[in-house]
Amino acid sequence: MKAKLSSLVFARLIAVAILCVLALDARAQTDPLPSWNDSVAKTAIVDFVKATTTQGSPQFVAAEERIATFDQDGTLWVEKPMYSQVIYCLDRVPAVVKAKPELAEVEPFKTVMSGNREAIARLSMQDLEKILVATLTGMPVDEFRAEAAKWLDTARDPRWKRPYTELTYLPMHEVMQYLRGNGYKTYIVTGGGQDFVRVYAERVYGIPPEQVVGTAGGTKYGYAKDGKPFLTKEPRLLLNDDKAGKPEGIHLMIGRRPVVAFGNSDGDREMLEYTKAGAGARLSMIVMHDDAAREYAYGPAQGLPESKVGTFTQAVYDEAKKDGWVVISMKNDWKRIFAWGP
Amino acid sequence: MKAKLSSLVFARLIAVAILCVLALDARAQTDPLPSWNDSVAKTAIVDFVKATTTQGSPQFVAAEERIATFDQDGTLWVEKPMYSQVIYCLDRVPAVVKAKPELAEVEPFKTVMSGNREAIARLSMQDLEKILVATLTGMPVDEFRAEAAKWLDTARDPRWKRPYTELTYLPMHEVMQYLRGNGYKTYIVTGGGQDFVRVYAERVYGIPPEQVVGTAGGTKYGYAKDGKPFLTKEPRLLLNDDKAGKPEGIHLMIGRRPVVAFGNSDGDREMLEYTKAGAGARLSMIVMHDDAAREYAYGPAQGLPESKVGTFTQAVYDEAKKDGWVVISMKNDWKRIFAWGP
């Protein structure tokens, strides 16, 4: 028995040793961030991951504390000319009006139904909210999920004529994979609708629904005619996951302060501050859209054009420099933007 | 190079084979639920885990869908004579009154300060809410966490004179470990305070903060004098994670319907229904407190005494039988209740 045991122990030791060598070998041979130029930003990521995951490093972070949060719109995928979810809501208006014909003559639905793009672009925030409520609430959770999935399959963005889910940034995919490969749990923390992003986050980013934190409304529990219980989406805001709402959402849904955070606008300012202010090693990074040729250029930080979405002000830029966040220049730091293109 | 590669592949195959044999060997030899008697309940758990995790089984559940939710009070630990968190709040009242002396003459604080146990036991739900608000909100998140941790270290329950965190049920620990060992993600879904349970859930149950769903209030983002941002707990209810609030909380925080759920009272009814109503294999189980000698006996299902906490009505018992939930009898199904005792 003793002989059998020790031979088992020996076999296990050999097995572990082989796996360690293979893992080290694989790591040494591959650049984890091939779509990044060799720059300050890339070095910051690689150095940080090494420092926080190497046993014995003074900056070592315990595995369970390795939380990395990512804004979505403008950080993981394109947010111009309009947030994809807003386009989804506008596209859903005809179905809503068909179900409730009396809305056809009521603003802002009348304007949306007119198809007049300039008028639609001029809709106020208040009008937009009415559209969001009408198109995102009032239906069973499963029905919403199916509708959004159908739209994502068929809708195409106006510039590249591709599904929105293909407009994700390859360098950020690499960062997420690299972090996960080093024991980080990756979360999306978005001002967008939590239920909407959850429809595709697992397939597109490898981020499961339970790791998507977003703007969220309440749901109501009820029973179908056959007695089966189901949840209905209600027009009752639980969490406005933008600006100061992001640390609140992180506390509510994760309960730990992130070690790493990525954003791209003043909507991410508080999340980046909150992350950086934690004890020990912390990394906050902010994407600057300065590449009009390959994507878009907007700011107004550093003299970039003003923008209605994803505003990155000079004040936030200055805070980034002062507080030690790393600014990512899409133009200079990213070798490629999309998996399928430039 | 080719020779080197194929020898690497060979070494990896051997390593994987050895590990597989070791794992199979270990599994075959150990009963995953040693504190359970061989009964319908134990068989239900083991059969379900095998059916949902064996490749090719008609009931197989994909790894990412393996979500198991557990109520806490009365399901994972003792809830009698009072929820531990309520005892914590009562114990905090002197500190609150010290900070705000004007409360000493105001009800319900006056009664709590009197130390009159009978009068305290008679406090209304409204009074209790005032105490919860005063003791659980208004302080920075980190300060709350430190206070609760200190209390958990020193407080002792009146019957066994042990820390509350030792009053957890050994058979349920085994179930959680068994599920996790088979790729299930285990969550607590409690009517108790999310922030409170998160203080000890990782250490006590192996459940990290991000997998604790509970009754949750809002937080407010602000800056300390040194400019560091922090969150303050506010008396603003976001989620009442009890009864119909449990499926709502599950949708909000997890975004998937559980495959397995455990509860013990009418507060868990909707979670157990919602779980069981999902497509494919689902397991809902409900703990019945019928062991006055080793723990407590209360119901009033099956003629057990009425109880102020953890009410398990006959209607819920009947629904369990009708809907195919498995009832766990603490008296008959559990060989041992606590790791340290009977």
Complex ipTM value: 0.91
Residues of A in contact with B280 (CB under 8 A): none
Separation CA B134–CA A53 (nearest Å): 41
pLDDT tens digits along A293-325:
999 999 999 999 999 889 999 999 999 999 999
Report yes or no: B255 at the A interface, CB cutoff 8 Å.
Answer: yes
Q: How far is CA B322 from CA A226, B208, B325, B327, in A?
A: 15, 34, 8, 11
Q: How far is A206 from chain B (nearest CA, A)?
A: 11
CA distance A137 to chain B (A): 14
Amino acid (1-letter code) at residue A193: G
CA atoms of B108 and B130, how far apart (whole Å):
8
What is the mean pLDDT for each group of 10 consecutive residues in chain B (342 residues)?
51 52 54 97 98 98 98 98 95 96 95 94 92 96 98 97 98 98 98 98 98 98 96 97 98 98 98 97 98 97 93 97 98 97 79
Cβ–Cβ contact B14 with A under 8 A: yes
| CB–CB contact B253 A251 (8 Å) | no
- Rg of chain A, C-alpha, whole Å: 23
B262: β partners: B70, B285
Distance CA(A15)–CA(A161), nearest Å, equals: 50
Q: What is the pLDDT of residue A308?
A: 85
The pLDDT of residue A2 is 47
Distance CA B2, CA A134 (A): 62
Backbone angles phi, psi at B307, to 5 degrees: -145, 145
Nearest Cβ partner of A22 from B12, B216, B247? B12
Look up residue A89 and give its amino acid.
Answer: C
Q: What is the pTM of this model?
A: 0.91
Q: Taking each helix axis from N to C terminus, what angle separates B84-99 and B194-205, rounded to the nearest 10 degrees? A: 130
Given this model, what pLDDT does residue A341 score? 87
Contact B183, B66 (CB under 8 A): yes
Q: Is A261 on the interface with B (CB under 8 A)?
A: no
Please tell me which of the candidates B12, B18, B228 has its beta carbon nearest to residue A12: B18
Of the candidates A196, A245, A211, the one whose C-alpha atom is nearest the C-alpha of residue A86 is A196
Q: In one letter, which amino acid is A282?
A: R
pLDDT value, residue A6: 54
In this predicted structure, what is the pLDDT of residue A4?
52
Cα pseudo-dihedral A23, A27, A33, A38, rounded to 10: 170
Q: Looking at residue B21, what is its pLDDT?
A: 45
Q: Name the residue with tokens 């149950």.
A: B205
Listed as ranges, residues in chain A with pLDDT below 50 are 1-3, 5, 20-22, 24-25, 27
- Whether residue B143 lies within 8 A of chain A, CB to CB, comes out as no
B147 in contact with chain A, both atoms CB, cutoff 8 A: no
What are the structure tokens assigned to B61, written together? 């559940």
- Cβ of A9 under 8 Å from any chain B Cβ? no
Is residue B252 within 8 Å of B232, Cβ to Cβ?
no
